[in-house]
Structure 1
Amino acid sequence: MGSQANPCIVFNGDARQAMEFYLEVFGGDLQVGTAADFGSPDSADGDKVMHARLDTAAGYTLMAWDFPEARPGHPAYRPGNNVAVFLGGDDAELRGYFEKLSAGGVVTLPLEKQVWGDEAGSLVDRFGISWMVNITNQ
């Protein structure tokens, strides 16, 4: 299989809800493990997601976890606006993903033909995650 890069999105306590939403959007298989499932003795983090993985029907893999309680030396939680998940290709399903992801979110660039000839758009979903979609011109 070689190497691959998969986004691992950090959430502030709502990773399970976000990943269940992404499962509705993309379909596939979702696995969720909490800190307690992984044997964490910290009861404050027990219900938080330590690792979630969504393998989508289209072959994408999204991963997520909940930010742990504040600890000395650990940076403060920051919403996912420093990372965008990019979906690109020539698949018409990308239009449907864009529409579903935008529900409850904000479209920052409507999905339409761009100067480079492709159809592209961007949005911030209801969980604060930035998405970019580019549909290659055939």
Structure 2
Amino acid sequence: MPPRLNPYISFDGDARQAMEFYQGVFGGTLELNTYGDFGGQDAGDAADRIMHGMLETAGGFTLMGADTPPGAGHRPGNNIAVSLSGDDSAELGGYWEALCAGGTVTVPLEKQMWGDVFGTCTDRFGITWLVNISGSGN
């Protein structure tokens, strides 16, 4: 398998809900492992929290996520965004609609000065998504 770059997102106790939401948006196979799966009773209150989650889609997307480890402290920031791009306007437009549900649109998905259809939104989990649909006629 060649190297790949994929986002890994930290959550503050709602990784399961977020990863299941993303599976609903993109489809694919979701694997979730809890701290309890690996730490047994030593995991304590974090036993049901997600230690590692990975969503792999038929379209080649891989998204990973987990709840912040116990004692590490969750520090959300504005230094992460996930970008989706391609030329399939129906597929990308569908992702856009699903990601925006319950979130906030910061740039509407519309034709931009560089000729592509582009938009940004922040989903209901606070993750920023950039969608770019390339090509003419979009």
TM-score (ref. length: structure 1): 0.91
- Does residue 124 (structure 1) correspond to residue 109 (structure 2)? The answer is no
Partner of 1:57: 58
Q: CA RMSD in A?
A: 1.3
Q: Output the amino acid matched with 2:13.
A: G
**Greater helix percent: which structure?**
2
Deviations 1:79-111 (A, max 9, x none): 253200000111120011001000000000000
2:120 partner SS: strand
Pick which of 99-108 and 77-86 moved more.
77-86
Specify which of 103, 106, 109 is matched with residue 107 of structure 2: 109
Q: Output the amino acid matched with 2:124.
A: R
1:95 partner SS: helix
Change (3 A) 1:80 1:21: farther
Change (3 A) 1:8 1:24: same
C-alpha contact (below 8 Å) 1:108/1:121 kept by paired residues: yes
- Does residue 42 (structure 1) correspond to residue 43 (structure 2)? The answer is yes
Unaligned runs of at least 5 residues, structure 2: none
TM-score (ref. length: structure 2): 0.91
C-alpha contact (below 8 Å) 1:26/1:57 kept by paired residues: no
C-alpha contact (below 8 Å) 1:80/1:128 kept by paired residues: no
Identical-residue share of aligned pairs (%): 57
Change (3 A) 1:86 1:80: farther
Unaligned runs of at least 5 residues, structure 1: none
Query: Deviating runs (4+, > 4 A) in structure 1?
Result: none
Deviation at 1:60, TM superposition (A): 0.3
Deviation at 1:136, TM superposition (A): 0.5
